[in-house]
Structure 1
Amino acid sequence: MTTIADTAASPEISKPAQWTGRVLSGLVIVFLLFDGAIKLVPWPVVTETMDRMGYGSSESLARTLGVITIACTVLYAIPPTSILGAILLTGYLGGAMASHVRIGSPLFSHTLFGLYLGLMVWGGLWLRDRNLRDLMPWQR
């Protein structure tokens, strides 16, 4: 017997869509883990960039940001917590974009980089996660 819930459920995700989502998500995860790791060290380029952005060259702030980046990325990488990780990464990337706006960074290469990465976060997740597709369907 077919129920209303069965007919309203979203169709299965195709294999190409799943793999595209995994690749997009994998690229984001690798990039953000690297970004977090260089903040943990922190390399001089990190503290110099933070100073240019008006946050001072604080190694403790750099390490804190590195821990936050890695923690949010790990949440994103684990399937049961991936939506929470995507939400937290969206906030983190929005803060980075706001910082670039504040100092007048170039629009397409620096300021909007957080937007590009955020689109990859959500696009990869939407392509690979049926729960997100059920929550946010593009069509009914």
Structure 2
Amino acid sequence: MEINGQTARSSSKAIWTGRILSGVVILFMLFDGGIKLVPLDIVMQANAQLGYPDSVNLARGLGVLGLVCTILYAMPRTSVLGAILLTGYLGGAIATQLRVGSPVFSHLLFGVYLGLMVWGGLFLRDERMRALIPFSR
């Protein structure tokens, strides 16, 4: 793709960095969604601490929602939609952490860190994103 006469191509290192960042997000979200599907005792305890009702169906619903968003993000044709949906999902997690007064850097901002990895990984690995949001040197 060309923007203002310049090619929006990225180096092989940038593409691999984007793939690794995206891979870390995908692996984390698959793990997170998977433990909510079971749901493990730790999930139910965490939900209770966050003020959610003690409901297996709620945990499973959140697990399915997270997994669907993650799968959409992992597939190249739907990765932008997946990133948008993951951003909303993480926004809900951030709002929940804020509501219960969680520690800022370890809990509250974890969703922000993950969101930055979602979009940073997508930007580095997807030429469409680099064309949409060109950074000049």
What per-residue deviation string (whole Å, max 9, x for no partner) do you get for residues 66-105 of structure 1? 0000000000000010000000000000100000000000
8 Å contact kept, 2:123–2:129: yes
Q: Which residue of 2 aligns with 1:21?
A: 18
Alignment counterpart, residue 104 of structure 1, candidates 98, 101, 104: 101
- What TM-score, normalized to structure 2? 0.94
Give CA-to-partner distance per residue, 1:26-48, whole Å, 9 cap, x none. 00000000000000000011011
Alignment of 1:29-44 (within 5 A): 29-44=26-41
What amino acid maps onto 2:36 in structure 1?
A: K
CA distance 1:128–1:73, change in 2 (3 Å): same
1:139 deviates by 2.3
Equivalent residue number for residue 87 of structure 1: 84
Which sections of structure 1, spanning at least 5 residues, go unmatched?
Answer: none
Residue 34 and residue 13 in structure 1: after superposition, are their counterparts in 2 closer, same or farther (change >3 A)?
Answer: same
CA–CA distance in structure 1, aligned partners of residues 105 and 63 of structure 2: 24
Q: Which residue of 2 aligns with 1:113?
A: 110
Does the CA-based 8 Å contact 1:21-1:127 persist in structure 2?
yes
Q: Which amino acid aligns with 1:125?
A: L
Q: Alpha carbon RMSD of aligned pairs, Å? A: 1.4
Runs of 4+ off more than 4 Å: none
Q: What secondary structure is seen at the aligned counterpart in 1 of 2:135? A: coil
**Structure 2: gaps spanning 5 or more residues:** none
1:62 maps to 59
Query: The residue matched to 2:7 in structure 1 has which SS?
Result: coil
- The structure 2 residue matched to 1:132, chosen from 129, 133, 137, is 129
Partner of 2:71: 74
- TM-score, normalised relative to structure 1: 0.93
Question: How many residues end up aligned between the 2 structures?
Answer: 136
Shift of 1:8: 3.7
Q: Are the counterparts in 2 of residues 76 and 84 from structure 1 also a CA contact under 8 Å? A: yes
Identity of aligned residues (%): 59
- Looking at structure 2, the residues matched to 95 and 73 of structure 1 have their Cα atoms a distance apart, in angstroms, of 15
Contact 2:29-2:70 at 8 Å conserved across structures: yes
